[in-house]
Structure 1
Amino acid sequence: MFRWFSLQSGIRGGGYLRQIDALRGWAILLVFFFHAWGISGGSSASEPSLWFSYVAAGRTGVTLFFVISGFLLSIPWLRAMQSPDIATPSLKNYYAARVLRIVPLYYLAVLTACIGSGSWDTGFKAFTFQVVGFEVFPFSVVWWTLVTEVQFYLLLPLLIWLLAGGAKRRMIFLLVFVFWAATYVSQVLDNPSDEKVRSYLLTKSLFGRLPAFLLGMFSAWIFVRARQVPMLSANWISGVGAVAILLALYVNGMVLQHSVSLGEWRSESNWHQHHTYEAILWSIVVLVLTLTKPFFYGVLINPVLAVVGKISYSLYLWHVPILFYLMYPAKERLGAAFSQSLTFYLLTFAALSLSLLASLFTYKYVELPGLNLKRRLPV
């Protein structure tokens, strides 16, 4: 029945990492349950439990997605920089691969939203990868992240060109980075007022989320150089890796716990650096799982999560409208009691099931044809 499905669809140049697909699975599940909890109207106490914070602040899954993008997309360039026997990736094929991966499904989602809402002017903005916020609710809730991803796709080759050059290019990179950091501090972090809407909007762009992508790139640099280190195959490394992941997840839980206690507006506008803390901790998880096999490796990295991760793009685009249209009528009927009712849990399970089915359908008929074309492109 599923002979058409392969975890390696769209992979160019070999080097498939099932760990990354499984981590994508975790990321989309965090985002899904975050939106389910938010749509239900559920609220947390000022001191939510550490692990429940992963649901109440499950938007951290977006940070994980950004780290993964920086990690995966920079690996071919970094390998070429490391070895003279590996050709530098073609810029034309790189952009063609990004278009084939992102555009078909995104345009289908935008077209569906426009037909359903009649908001064609907003749809045109979305088609050109402009931020539209909640203007086509509930479809457009997650679109800003794709705009941010596309901004990174455009910037990555330039970053690599600067880093791979001589001292002059690296000096230019350093100067640009210092300029960005100073602007980021002054426009986003140095924000004592809750009324700075402009700085809040900046956090929903590559300008505000660049640290996550850069940390993903830095993780890829470590990965390319460390994966052949013999010590990483030693038995005791499994224990060290397990401790590192548990510590990273625990500290990240503390970060998320504090962001929940602040509330979304204050945490996003006045404590935006928490996304950088998340990205550092997720980078540790990515590196440990791609370089070692900790004791509970099979719990974190398994075929089920890899499949969920493989269809995570479809799942990401469809889950919010499915959640909303399933849950909102019941929420309106039950009021504040909805988030604590059995109906909430049943509808969450139903929404997840429907989202998975819809995602499998669009993965097969929209994503997969693009992935098959993408795989034919030389690196």
Structure 2
Amino acid sequence: MDLERRDEHSALPLPRQHAAQDKVVAEFGYKPALDGLRGAAAIAVLYAHVVPDLLPGGDVSLYLFFALSGYLITGLLLTEISRNGTIDLPRFYGRRAIRLLPAILLVLAAVAVLTALTPTGPSWTAMAAVLFYVGNWYRAFGGELGTLTHTWSLSVEEQFYLVWPLVCLAALAVAVRRRADPARVLAWVTAAGCVLALGIRVLLVDGPTVRIYNGTDTRIDFILYGCLLSCLIRTMDRERLARWLARAFPVALLVALAWLVFHRPQQGDALMWTVGYTVIAVSSTVIVGHLGLRPDSRAARPLKHPALIWLGKMSYGFYLWHFPILAFLRAAGVPVAALAVLGLVLSVGMAWASFRLVEAPISRRLYRRLAARPQ
């Protein structure tokens, strides 16, 4: 988390005791195992798309990404609040745009070219939905994204990024008025959001499951549990929380693996579409939390393999490219055995090329401009 410090006083000064949070914040740093988890999840989702009959629950990889996003983004925002007493919204949104837009624009350009040359690509309406990060709602109400189907989850995350800093600022305002801990106020808000998402799933469970699967309102708790974890780290005894997560980790891992191998949701399976989603969301968060708080645990060691860490740092680009590449290879008649190898090699290659030739140069240039912006 690379936050810049601000020298001026905040417009919303925090109570004096909250300056002690900087000591907690200082304990948070780069965790290689979390990048390794990203890399492992990226590989899992690719092979789930190669052999969906063998790995029908490959969407569990997305849930790990969701939990990671909530955990890390909330940690970044709470760190900024602790240091500066506010959130620099232009800087936050600018950093998100710099991080996310170059890669997805490149993928959309490539898919647009293929769509113009072949009749099998997604519609222009579908590509516009992906571009404006509403692809999940386009799918939820019957639209087809074709070779961009996988981007529904990115739409959910981007909508979260748009709203969550505003929620954090609202929680901060309440905390200042009541001289309370902003992380504690935010934890209550987050917990309420998780309950609300479950309630919406219960209300919609008799309707089309595509609505539950893709809706932001029915999926937001997958991210919010990660947000709640970040809040709890700052409001609970850290060691006690770490011990609890360590005890829960084996069960959470077993749930995630069972989901990956056996999960085959049916239209009438109300329990799975409601409580089942809550169970896998919590399990994903426990996995992330254990690796974040116990970075030297036995579970974290295999995730520190350099190859997984390397891939994890490019997992966003890898995820963007893998699905169109697999669709192109299938259309070309590549058999499944070769698809498993070629899909991985080409996805890694395109992610690396995108990162090195497009994302990194653009990001470096724009980050410098953003850092130089008057605060």
Higher relative contact order (CA 8 A, sep 6+): 1
In the superposition, the TM-score normalised over structure 2's length comes to: 0.75
C-alpha displacement of 1:296: 4.2
Within the alignment, does 1:107 sit opposite 2:105 as a pair? yes
Output the CA distance in 1 between the equivalents of 2:219 and 2:144.
22
C-alpha displacement of 1:184: 5.1
User: SS state of the match for residue 166, structure 1?
Assistant: helix
Aligned residue among 270, 274, 277 for 1:275 = 277
Which residue of the partner structure matches residue 322 of structure 1? 325
For the 8 Å contact 2:249–2:287, the answer to whether it is kept is yes
Aligned residue among 152, 166, 183 for 2:160 = 152
For the 8 Å contact 1:74–1:217, the answer to whether it is kept is yes
In the superposition, relative to structure 1, how do residues 250 and 361 fare at CA in structure 2: closer, same or farther (>3 Å)? same
Amino acid at match of 1:291: L
Output the CA distance in 2 between the equivalents of 1:153 and 1:31.
23
Alignment of 1:56-205 (within 5 A): 56-81=56-81, 83=82, 85-86=83-84, 88-118=86-116, 119-131=123-135, 132-133=138-139, 135-138=144-147, 140-166=148-174, 181=195, 185=199, 187-191=200-204, 193=206, 196-197=207-208, 200-205=210-215
Output the CA distance in 2 between the equivalents of 1:329 and 1:269.
40
Which residue of the partner structure matches residue 253 of structure 2? 249
C-alpha displacement of 1:219: 1.5
Amino acid at match of 2:251: L
Output the CA distance in 2 between the equivalents of 1:374 and 1:283.
32
Aligned residue among 16, 27, 30 for 2:44 = 30
C-alpha displacement of 1:248: 1.6
C-alpha displacement of 1:266: 5.3
Amino acid at match of 2:151: W
Output the CA distance in 2 between the equivalents of 1:315 and 1:273.
31
Aligned residue among 289, 307, 311 for 2:310 = 307
In the superposition, relative to structure 1, how do residues 267 and 160 fare at CA in structure 2: closer, same or farther (>3 Å)? farther
Which residue of the partner structure matches residue 293 of structure 2? 291
Structure 1 gaps, min length 5 = 1-9, 45-54, 332-342
C-alpha displacement of 1:280: 1.0
C-alpha displacement of 1:77: 2.2
C-alpha displacement of 1:279: 1.9
Output the CA distance in 1 between the equivalents of 2:237 and 2:332.
51
C-alpha displacement of 1:256: 4.8
Output the CA distance in 2 between the equivalents of 1:148 and 1:71.
15
Within the alignment, does 1:366 sit opposite 2:343 as a pair? no
Q: Aligned residue pairs: how many?
A: 330
For the 8 Å contact 2:56–2:263, the answer to whether it is kept is no
Within the alignment, does 1:220 sit opposite 2:224 as a pair? no
In the superposition, relative to structure 1, how do residues 56 and 90 fare at CA in structure 2: closer, same or farther (>3 Å)? same
C-alpha displacement of 1:275: 2.8
User: SS state of the match for residue 51, structure 2?
Assistant: helix
Aligned residue among 194, 211, 221 for 1:211 = 221
Which residue of the partner structure matches residue 8 of structure 2? none
In the superposition, the TM-score normalised over structure 1's length comes to: 0.74
The percentage of counterpart residues that share the same residue type is 24
Which residue of the partner structure matches residue 50 of structure 1? none
For the 8 Å contact 2:57–2:260, the answer to whether it is kept is yes
Output the CA distance in 2 between the equivalents of 1:117 and 1:351.
20
For the 8 Å contact 1:69–1:213, the answer to whether it is kept is yes
Amino acid at match of 1:156: W
Alignment of 1:47-58 (within 5 A): 55-58=55-58
In the superposition, relative to structure 1, how do residues 152 and 179 fare at CA in structure 2: closer, same or farther (>3 Å)? closer
In the superposition, relative to structure 1, how do residues 192 and 150 fare at CA in structure 2: closer, same or farther (>3 Å)? closer
C-alpha displacement of 1:361: 0.3
Alignment of 1:233-244 (within 5 A): 244=248
